[in-house]
Amino acid sequence: MNYAKSQPDMAIMAVNTFVKDCEDGNPLIRALAVRTMVCIRVDKITEYLCEPLRKCLKDEDPYVRKTAAVCVAKLHDINAPLVEDQGFLDQLRDLLSDSNPMVVAIAVAALSEMNEASASGQLLAEMSAPTINKLLTALNECTEWGQVFIL
CATH number at residue 73: 1.25.10.10
With bands split at pLDDT 50, 70 and 90, how would you rate the model's confidence at 121? low
Residue-level pLDDT at 2: 56
Angle, alpha carbons 29-102-78 (nearest 5°): 65
With bands split at pLDDT 50, 70 and 90, how would you rate the model's confidence at 41? confident
**Residue 128: Cβ within 10 Å count:** 9
Count up the domains in the chain and report the number.
Answer: 1
Ramachandran area for residue 148 (φ above 0: left; ψ -120 to 50: alpha; else beta): alpha
Residue-level pLDDT at 80: 85
Share the mean pLDDT of the chain: 83
Residue range of the domain that includes 36 = 2-150
With bands split at pLDDT 50, 70 and 90, how would you rate the model's confidence at 31? very high
**Confidence (pTM):** 0.81
